[in-house]
Amino acid sequence: MAVTLDAQLLEILACPAPDHAPLRTGTPDDPSADALTCTSCGRVYPVRDGIPVLLLDEATTPESDEPRSDGA
Amino acid sequence: MGAKDLERLRRHWNKQARHYDRQMTFADRKFFGDTRQWICGQASGDVLEVALGTGLNLPWYPGGVRLTGVDLSPEMLEHARRRAADLGREVDVRVGDAQRLEFPDSSFDTVVSTYSLCAVPDERAAVEEMWRVLRPGGTLLLADHVVSTSAPVRLLQRLVELVSVPVGGENFRRRPIRHVRALGFTVERHERFKLGIVERLAARKPAA
């Protein structure tokens, strides 16, 4: 199931990191993945059971080697 | 506050999710009275509820508000989602940290939080975040159990904390209103009852 968030909701969704930059749906590699990606810092946040998990500790950073939680 | 502590708290609240409503309904009846109605009845416009939990406030919001809810525990949010569906209400939920909210500045007309600041590790940081995401002129609505005005009860609260803080991070001697005032909110309505243990307030962030 791809992330289905309406435009209005995406407008108020931002990265919890201090710059609070906007998020984009999907990952850089897979725009239809169950995830949200920060347009500034590149952190990828998982979406589990349709609920975005916007915790810094749960995010995958672009340079980290941790497995992606989006199943991509 | 390290990642491990936050994870521990999350596990604690995930475990609480199943029994939370029963315990809380009891507390609502015995202590908090009409506080949920009092708080939610003053909400308007774009509303953020911090620590939505199982959504016990959901039935009390006016029909016209647009609701977003954040909680540390996905299991709590699962209950809230079911409750919202039963009530026929729309609510956007996401897992988040009250101390680092995932919204741009000035995103909401109202921020609500009930019985949560007692359990947030850094409650001042949480109130600062509430201020940040509120629009100028927006309303902050808080209710919680706080330190009593009665000395014997204060002693009891101190004793309870010896267990409740290590077990679930729950504090009984806080006064969030101090942070609310210190940040520059104007407290417009304020009530304290049950030996000063229950405190609820409506405060406004000054218009720009």
| Cβ-defined contact of A9 to B102 (cutoff 8 Å) | no
Prediction pTM value: 0.89
Q: Please state the domain count of chain B.
A: 1
Which CATH number does the domain housing residue A49 bear?
2.20.25
A25's enclosing H/E stretch is strand A23-25
Contact present, B162 and B148 (Cβ < 8 Å):
no
Q: Residue A71: inside a domain, yes or no?
A: no
pLDDT tens digits, B143-193: 999 999 999 999 999 999 999 999 889 999 999 999 999 999 999 999 999
How far, in Å, CA of B168 to CA of B145, rounded? 15
Q: Please state the domain count of chain A.
A: 1
Q: Residue A65: inside a domain, yes or no?
A: no
Window 5-64 of A, Cβ < 8 Å to B: 9, 12-17, 20, 22, 48-49, 51-58
Report CA torsion sign: B161, B115, B127, B203. Answer: negative
Q: Residue A26: inside a domain, yes or no?
A: yes
Q: Residue A36: inside a domain, yes or no?
A: yes
Q: Residue A40: inside a domain, yes or no?
A: yes
Q: Whats the size of chain A, residue-wise? A: 72
Taking only Cα atoms into account, the Rg of chain A, rounded to an integer number of angstroms, comes to 11
| Cβ-defined contact of A55 to B97 (cutoff 8 Å) | yes
| Cβ-defined contact of A12 to B6 (cutoff 8 Å) | no
| Cβ-defined contact of A53 to B95 (cutoff 8 Å) | yes
Q: Chain B residues with CB inside 8 Å of A44's CB?
A: none
| Cβ-defined contact of B102 to A51 (cutoff 8 Å) | no
Sheet strands (E) in B31-125: 46-50, 66-71, 91-96, 108-114
| Cβ-defined contact of A53 to B77 (cutoff 8 Å) | no
Contact present, B46 and B68 (Cβ < 8 Å):
yes
Divide the 208 residues of chain B into consecutive groups of 10 and give the mean pLDDT of each group: 82 90 89 94 98 96 95 95 95 95 96 95 96 98 95 94 92 95 97 94 94
Which CATH number does the domain housing residue B103 bear?
3.40.50.150
Q: Residue A12: inside a domain, yes or no?
A: yes
Closest Cα partner for B139 from B179, B180, B101, B174? B180
Report CA torsion sign: B49, B17, B4, A10. Answer: negative
Q: Residue A7 pLDDT > 80, yes or no?
A: no
The domain in which residue B89 lies consists of 3-204
The amino acid at A33: A
What is the model's pLDDT at position B208?
A: 76
Best residue in B10, B48, B76, B95 for a mutation probing chain A (most A CBs within 10 Å) = B95
Is the ipTM higher than 0.85? The answer is no
Window 7-36 of B, Cβ < 8 Å to A: 7
Pairing state between β B186-193 and B108-114: unpaired
How far, in Å, CA of B73 to CA of B85, rounded? 19
The domain in which residue A35 lies consists of 7-58
pLDDT tens digits, A13-22: 899 999 899 9
